[in-house]
Structure formats: C-alpha cells, structure tokens
Amino acid sequence: MDNGEVPPRKLDLEKVRAALDAQLVALDEPPFDGPATTLPRALVAAVLAAYDRGLQPERDAARQAVRYLLDRLATAAPGRTVEVRVPPYAAVQAIAGPRHTRGTPPNVVETDGRTWIELALGRLTWGEAMAKGAVSASGSRADLSEHLPLQDDPTG
C-alpha cells in the first residue's frame, strides 16, 4: 500500500477454529461443525456466550475475537490517525487523517475486550461506553461512534 496504510492481519482459520473449539468445550457445547467462512462470527458468538453466562472466556478465544473485530475496524476505516488498543489482546491503527509515525499517538482509544466486542456488535453504544467509563479516548479524532457497530450481533 503506497499510502502508508498497514493491511490488516490475515486471519489464521486454524487458530480461530482451535480457539473456538476450546471455548465451546469450556461452555459444554459440541465442537464447531459449520463452514470455515463462518468461523470468526461463531467465535465471537461463543465468547459472548461465555460473558453472558458470567464466565471469563478462554484467553485465546477472547484474543482471536478481539483481533478479528479490530481488523474489521481497520478494514472498514483504513488509516493511521487513531490507535485502538484492547490490552492485552491487540491494537490497530485506523481512521483516515493525519498520519502518526512516532511516540504516543495523539488519538488513542483504549478499552477492555468485552467492551470492545460489545461496541463492535452494537450491544453497547459509544456514548454508553464513554458515560460508564468503559472506554478511554484521547485526541480530537478518537470518537469511533461513526464507525460502530462493525457487524450485527451473531447471538441476537
């Protein structure tokens, strides 16, 4: 890409399947038997099911789900103006505008895995997340509300 944008990571479907199956085992559900093209959505649904049951999702399942949804943001809103961090899982740069190259980015969004997944799926609005302090956003371009949700909630 000649405009300085970083392409999103290529999804490793074998790792996604392994994480999904581990999450399904933890939920006492049968292994995934659907088409490979639906693996990421099934993984997100399984991680949400763990949260909905009051459980902590399997670490790798949560990481893969967060990465998948962060990559969806980077694809939907390419650029390097805002860094979106979901520690300890992943971070991406997204949103068109002035490019950041060194040091702490001027526009940073940081949240936890559950909040990011809920924002990405529209279970939680940007305003709701900000009001309850679930998101830290600094910089004039750090409002992601116009880019969310990224997809429909696979459980709803």
Cα of first residue to Cα of last residue in the chain, in angstroms, is 37
Structural domain count, the chain: 1
Residue 2 in any domain: the answer is: no
- Side chain identity at 78, as an amino acid letter? P
Q: What is the pLDDT of residues 49-98, one digit of tens each?
A: 999 999 999 999 999 999 999 999 999 999 888 999 999 999 999 998 87
Residue 114 in any domain: the answer is: yes
Beta strand 108-111 with 90-94 is: unpaired
Residue 1 in any domain: the answer is: no
| Percent of residues, the chain, with pLDDT higher than 90 | 78
57 SS3 class: coil
| pTM listed for this prediction | 0.90
Residue 4 in any domain: the answer is: no
Nearest to 65 by CA among 112, 129, 103: 112
Residue 66 in any domain: the answer is: yes
Find the CATH number of the domain harbouring 61.
Answer: 3.30.1050.40
Q: Domain containing 38: what range?
A: 13-147
Residue 44 in any domain: the answer is: yes
